Amino acid sequence: MTPTLPILIVGGGISGLVCAYALRKAGIEAQLVEASTKPGGVIRSEIREGFLLDLGPQSISGTAALRSLCADLGIADQVEQAPSAAPRYVLIDGALKAVPLSPPAMLSSSFLSPRTKWRIARDALGTTRAPEEDESVAAFVRRKFGAELLERLVGPFVSGIYAGDPERLSLRAAFPQLYEAEQSAGSVIRGMRRAAKSRKGPRERPSLLSFRDGNETLVRALAAKIGPGLRVGAEVVGISVHREPAGATGFEIRISASGREETVLAERLIVATSADVAGTLLRDVNAAFEPVLAGIEYAPVAVVSLGYRREDVSHSLAGFGFLVPRSSSLQVLGTVWNSSLFPGRTPAGHVLLTSFVGGATNPGAAALSAQELSKLVHNEIAPLLQIRAAPMFSHVQTCRHALPQYNIGHMDRLRALERLRADLPALSFIGNYLRGPAIGNCVQLALATAEAIRSRAKST
Ligand SMILES: Cc1cc2nc3c(=O)[nH]c(=O)nc-3n(C[C@H](O)[C@H](O)[C@H](O)COP(=O)(O)OP(=O)(O)OC[C@H]3O[C@@H](n4cnc5c(N)ncnc54)[C@H](O)[C@@H]3O)c2cc1C
């Protein structure tokens, strides 16, 4: 007779790992299965030829929840903080211009024309109403602030966060704070200020961090704490509903590992894979899951890491890096100046620059060969950063399902998903397509899910 597990989590990316860790810490026997031989999903760090590479996310938002998780895991001393004042640049008219990051700085800089500045001031003083329909990010910015702000600032930042297309991303799904601000105050600026004032607890200063040995440090620490609760190289290939003798609904999960298939039973199931995989796996539980989850698109991204001798790069590289508006002729979406942010990323006398290509606006480019991508990126960034020689190191990591797109209709899809899930109270979803794609969002949802299960277990 197959023993019944209290909880099975499918998918050992950051979402599944954090959830398993929090449940086991609370004394709840959660088992996590991960298809790949390594946990962490898109978070991977590697040392190659003396360069410390992050092959997915480059930095993590230093939220209070994340810092407290690091302290709990015993890795707080390995945290590296990016310089808080590091400027970000956008490519405007062929040159890199520093982005003013607050409304006052924006009004006093030459980054925007007087007409756009006037429209920002008009938002602070006037009142507008959002349309009923699901508005795209691009339509919202054009309506409130004009095309220039979309082109110079919002579009590039949308590339940086979602690798997305602002014409298709839904404002209320992708940037709920902006939507709520207009809804509540009739003004983005007044609404954001009001929301900041009403937030409880000490004010968090935005910060970005990584770890001495790269972002995978977080994954390794979580995996070590989960210990025997984590099984790698075990792919879930099918899930069906299992009626317990007492009438409760559990799950029968088919797992393929080392060329053999086995079945486990679980009272509760937490699906922590990407949306499309979740839909396929749950087909036999309820066929209606699949079309809803398959409706969430993912954009592909190629991560191109290039190492140069410092003497071959004339630009100061003082800053975070730069983003590229889609109207430019470049295919690079943006470049992070890793060696300016965190120490120990390169051999002495070298710099490391990581660029992103592809995304929702140019998916085909992510499918180029590694050689083509290295060449393309070098050719595009060399004139901007005054690079005089070819890179002496290059690495390309392509992620076909890199980032979920919170496109128009996303909130309807999530509501439909919740309606289907409500019929199966022992089923939960976590992952980057639900409450934001950033690691901080995934951690927050995973912790909240574990906490909800813990408090329910306590009250029964
Ligand atoms: C190129 C790139 C750059 C990014 N940059 C940043 C950044 O700078 N800052 C930031 O905060 N965020 C960034 N992100 C976003 C963030 O890293 C991800 O959204 C987050 O790590 C996703 O975690 P996850 O656990 O939800 O999903 P995933 O990492 O996708 O994990 C899902 C896991 O499920 C496993 N799985 C799939 N199918 C099965 C199965 N059948 N059985 C068992 N296991 C299965 C997979 O192998 C995988 O390990 C970036 C993402 C990418 C791709």
Mind listing the pLDDT tens digit for each residue in 211-220?
999 999 999 9
- Per the document, the length of the chain is 460
Task: Judge whether residue 122 has pLDDT over 60.
Answer: yes
Distance CA 388, CA 377 (A): 14
Structural tokens at position 162: 């979602």
Distance CA 372, CA 324 (A): 20
Contact 430, 442 (CB under 8 A): yes
pLDDT digits (tens, 9 = 90+) for 405-437: 999 999 999 999 999 999 999 999 999 999 999
- Between vectors from CA 155 to CA 85 and to CA 139, what angle results, nearest 5°? 130
**Of the residues 256, 401, 432, 433, which should be mutated to test ligand 1's pocket, given the most ligand atoms within 8 Å of the CB?**
432
Q: What is the mean pLDDT of the chain?
A: 95
- Structure confidence at residue 69 (pLDDT): 97
- Structure confidence at residue 104 (pLDDT): 80
Q: What is the dihedral of CA 118, 119, 124, 125, to 10 degrees?
A: 70
**Amino acid occupying residue 403:** L
- Between vectors from CA 75 to CA 70 and to CA 78, what angle results, nearest 5°? 115
Structural tokens at position 335: 């470049």
- Structure confidence at residue 12 (pLDDT): 98
Pairing type for strands 350-358 and 332-336 reads antiparallel
**Residues 4-43+65-74+218-296+407-459, CATH architecture:** 3-Layer(bba) Sandwich (3.50)
What sections of 354-432 are H helices per DSSP?
370-384, 410-422
Distance CA 339, CA 346 (A): 7
Instruction: Give the binding-site residues of ligand 1, using a 6 Å CB cut-off.
Output: 10-16, 33-36, 41-43, 56-61, 235-236, 272-274, 277, 301, 303, 399, 402-403, 431-432, 437-440, 442
Helix, strand, coil percent content, the chain, rounded in steps of 5 = 40, 25, 35
Distance CA 101, CA 207 (A): 13
Identify the band that residue 200 occupies on the pLDDT scale cut at 50, 70 and 90.
confident
pLDDT digits (tens, 9 = 90+) for 317-328: 999 999 999 999
Whether 99-198 and 4-43+65-74+218-296+407-459 are alike in CATH topology: the answer is no
DSSP code, position 2: P
Contact 118, 104 (CB under 8 A): no
- Structure confidence at residue 243 (pLDDT): 83
- Structure confidence at residue 235 (pLDDT): 98
**Of the residues 10, 264, 273, which should be mutated to test ligand 1's pocket, given the most ligand atoms within 8 Å of the CB?**
273
- Structure confidence at residue 205 (pLDDT): 72
Atom 29 of ligand 1, nearest CA residue: 41
The reply to whether CATH 1.10.3110.10 applies to domain 99-198 is: yes
Burial class (CB in 10 A: 0-12, 13-18, 19+), 114: exposed
CATH superfamily of 298-404: Protoporphyrinogen oxidase, mitochondrial; domain 2 (3.90.660.20)
Residue ranges of domains in the chain: 4-43+65-74+218-296+407-459, 99-198, 298-404
- Structure confidence at residue 420 (pLDDT): 98
pLDDT digits (tens, 9 = 90+) for 363-401: 999 999 999 999 999 999 999 999 999 999 999 999 999
Identify the band that residue 1 occupies on the pLDDT scale cut at 50, 70 and 90.
low
Task: Judge whether residue 81 has pLDDT over 60.
Answer: yes
- Structure confidence at residue 107 (pLDDT): 82
Identify the band that residue 101 occupies on the pLDDT scale cut at 50, 70 and 90.
confident
**Of the residues 17, 33, 42, 405, which should be mutated to test ligand 1's pocket, given the most ligand atoms within 8 Å of the CB?**
42
Prediction pTM value: 0.96
